[in-house]
Amino acid sequence: MKLVRVFLLLLCFYLSFCKPTLTSDTSQEEDLVEAKCLAKKYTHLSCNKVFCQPWQKCVEGTCVCKLPYQCPKNGTAVCATNGRSYPTYCQLKSLECLHPGTKFLNNGICKAEGKFSVSLYGNTNSEGIVEVKLVDQDTKMFICESSWSWTCKVLIILPSRFIYSISRGALDIQRRFTFPEETYLNSTECLHVHCRGYETSLAECTFTKRRAKGYQGLAGVVCYTENAELPTDESFQCVNGKYISQTKACDGVNDCGDQSDELCCKGCRGDSFLCKSGVCIPSQYKCNGEVDCITGDDEVNCEGFAPATQEETEILTADMNAERKRIKSLLPKLSCGVKNSVHARRKRVVGGRPAHHVEDFPWQVGIKEADGISCGGIYIGGCWILTAAHCVRVSKTHRYQIWTSLLDWIRPNREIKVELANRIIIHEKYNASTYQNDIALIEMKGYPNPKVCKLPKSTPACVPWSPYLFQPNDRCIVSGWGRGKDKQKVFSLKWGEVNLIGNCSKFYPNRFYEKEMQCAGTADGSIDACKGDSGGPLVCTDANNVTYVWGVVSWGENCGKPEFPGVYTKVANYFDWISYHVGRSLISQYNI
Ligand code: 4AZ
């Protein structure tokens, strides 16, 4: 690690060089980030931004349908609209995902009598007050208006008479419906309906009984038609083509129906929570026991956080949302990025420091070639090491040794294990002159069995599946045996805390490729990677204390110069490449 003392002069130079334009720069940068994000046309199926449902998996950034057999086996039978029973809710949802049309009808096996039905009470077939007849209930009931949110609006369009455009949702406008007085006077109770947004039928939402507050208190719906809302200067265009008012974007409410109005936000309006990934979620999802932000920040600092409670009477239907959560908990869990370390490391860092415990860096490896550690590497599970392409050559495969649990290579510690390289895969688009795609995989031989690697003191770092897991200014850790201050040789593992730096083209015009590279450093340059650290880890830890290999040390102009931060290969960009070579199940922490 390069450790350079801060010269006041240099700091002043830096401050005068960068700071005056910082405020306007920051908001301009934010606007640019937002515009770039919107151009990617993310929706509720974009697993770079949101988690997939348990009946889906993430393939190349999109949630696609699982096959029913890929669902967890345990669960209870459910009945579908085609009159058939299915062994589990997940299996039915995966089938529905593959062949839309067949929908959930009720929990339990199909029975001849008792059907869930929805209709509109009104004089046209495109708008009216919502009537529901639940399974096992004799009469039709109305839905309380207060519980009627977008998620339910899109669902009401489903009965065949009312299909207009399901993907575009329903129009949210105030209407007075022609409605006979005596009917509403007779209904003193209404159904409170709770939907999450993944449902395709109102039958999947949870119904409870509430007291109705008269005519105004019942839910009505007006179906969306092609020309219902024309674009204006104030409109936000959803990915599905619908136009909504700009004021409804980034408010936690899925007004578009495809969530595209909530996925590229720099702030959130109203009663909603901003995930670090730039997604607005309803405030009720904060601290609800389920992680909704891919960055995990909605389920931290929950002590003393009391979600709004509502007086509710009888629950009338099965809670399919609870069933969805249960299915999620049954999916295989990958163990990565969590340390066994008992040594609480202090957050504060003054410079590159020596590592004292191998448990603090259980993913760090050293690549030894000839007479010294030439590069770093990162253990990502199985027999696989991630490193920089410029560190290795396929022709030299049998000369490389992978040293794990190593602290100091001239004073070896007991835990060290040395493995041999079996295979080297260099990214096919690695460009040695521009350092683009500077990433490679080393497969270790394993001992005594080939392809079985037992590394008792090592833990894999998680491989990030989305470029939105960490953001500029997040603090991450770089480590390695590279050159130190004044290019002196270093024998012991050193580490230091650096910030992720956005918009790095300003430091490296025409040399920095944003999608593939990540800059990191400190304002004064005092902590930086240097020669010999290459191939080693830049790791970032999320809100839930899970550590990801965010970067691989790649290049930089000199070391420890604030105007030239360290450049890392942005690992999130290579998730598909890595999983293609090592196998999806080895590195897919979520969305499998
Ligand atoms: C190198 O030569 C190198 N300051 C690695 C990282 C950096 C510079 C040089 C970043 O391997």
For residue range 261-293, what is the model confidence (pLDDT) as tens digits?
999 999 999 999 999 999 999 999 999 999 999
553 in contact with ligand 1, CB cutoff 6 A: yes
Please report which confidence band the pLDDT of residue 524 belongs to, taking 50, 70 and 90 as the band edges.
very high
534 in contact with ligand 1, CB cutoff 6 A: yes
533 in contact with ligand 1, CB cutoff 6 A: yes
574 and 367 Cβ atoms separated by less than 8 Å: no
Choose between 420 and 200: higher pLDDT: 420
Residue-level pLDDT at 22: 36
**Residues, the chain, total?**
592
559 in contact with ligand 1, CB cutoff 6 A: yes
The token pair that represents 252 in the structure block: 């936690």
Distance CA 309, CA 373 (A): 59
Distance CA 200, CA 241 (A): 20
Question: How distant, in Å, are the alpha carbons of 84, 372, 444, 536 from that of 397?
Answer: 57, 16, 10, 18
Beta bridge partners of 444: 421
Residue-level pLDDT at 368: 95
Q: What is the mean pLDDT of residues 429-458?
A: 93
% of the chain surpassing 90 pLDDT: 57
Question: How distant, in Å, are the alpha carbons of 163, 195, 219, 224, 343 from that of 154?
Answer: 10, 11, 13, 9, 52
pLDDT over 70 (residue 248): yes
Which atom of ligand 1 is nearest the CA belonging to 2?
4
Choose between 483 and 105: higher pLDDT: 105
Choose between 197 and 146: higher pLDDT: 197
Residue-level pLDDT at 16: 35
The token pair that represents 44 in the structure block: 């509720």
pLDDT, averaged across the chain: 84
Choose between 498 and 113: higher pLDDT: 498
Q: What is the mean pLDDT of residues 582-588?
A: 90
Q: Whose CA is nearest to atom 1 of ligand 1?
A: 531
Ligand 1 mean position, distance from CA 575 (Å): 23
Q: Whose CA is nearest to atom 2 of ligand 1?
A: 531
Place of tokens 């930089």: 556
Please report which confidence band the pLDDT of residue 183 belongs to, taking 50, 70 and 90 as the band edges.
low
The token pair that represents 572 in the structure block: 């999130």
Ligand 1 mean position, distance from CA 499 (Å): 17
Which atom of ligand 1 is nearest the CA belonging to 534?
11
Please report which confidence band the pLDDT of residue 141 belongs to, taking 50, 70 and 90 as the band edges.
confident
Place of tokens 């990433």: 439
Cα dihedral 49, 509, 472, 4 in deg (nearest 10): 150
pLDDT tens column, 144-153 = 877 776 666 6
Residue-level pLDDT at 219: 73
Q: Considering 258, 292, 438, 528, which one is annotated as catalytic?
A: 438
Please report which confidence band the pLDDT of residue 316 belongs to, taking 50, 70 and 90 as the band edges.
confident
Q: Considering 165, 390, 479, 526, which one is annotated as catalytic?
A: 390
pLDDT tens column, 3-20 = 333 333 333 333 333 333
Query: How distant is the alpha carbon of residue 124 from its chain centre?
Result: 42
374 in contact with ligand 1, CB cutoff 6 A: no
438 in contact with ligand 1, CB cutoff 6 A: no
In the annotation, is 167 catalytic? no
563 in contact with ligand 1, CB cutoff 6 A: no
Ligand 1 mean position, distance from CA 3 (Å): 13
Please report which confidence band the pLDDT of residue 158 belongs to, taking 50, 70 and 90 as the band edges.
very low
Cis previous bond, 448, omega within 30: yes
Distance CA 281, CA 259 (A): 10
Residue-level pLDDT at 71: 95
Of 180, 183, 162, which is closest to residue 120 (Cα–Cα)? 162
Residue-level pLDDT at 186: 55
Q: Compute the half-sphere exposure of residue 500: CA atoms within 13 Å on the CB side of its CA.
A: 24
In the annotation, is 534 catalytic? yes
pLDDT tens column, 213-236 = 655 567 766 655 544 567 787 899
In the annotation, is 438 catalytic? yes
Q: What is the mean pLDDT of residues 74-88?
A: 93
Map residue 519 onto helix, strand or coil: strand
Of 505, 487, 477, 156, which is closest to residue 337 (Cα–Cα)? 477
pLDDT tens column, 380-396 = 999 999 999 999 999 99
Q: Report, in angstroms and rounded to the nearest whole number, the Rg of the chain calculated over CA atoms.
A: 28
Query: How distant is the alpha carbon of residue 433 from its chain centre?
Result: 33
530 in contact with ligand 1, CB cutoff 6 A: yes
Q: What is the mean pLDDT of residues 576-589?
A: 92
Please report which confidence band the pLDDT of residue 444 belongs to, taking 50, 70 and 90 as the band edges.
very high
Ligand 1 mean position, distance from CA 483 (Å): 9
Question: How distant, in Å, are the alpha carbons of 24, 234, 353, 398 from that of 268?
Answer: 20, 17, 39, 54
Which atom of ligand 1 is nearest the CA belonging to 564?
4
Residue-level pLDDT at 25: 64
Please report which confidence band the pLDDT of residue 347 belongs to, taking 50, 70 and 90 as the band edges.
very low
Q: Residues with Cβ < 8 Å from 227, sequence gap 6 or more? A: none
Residue-level pLDDT at 84: 94
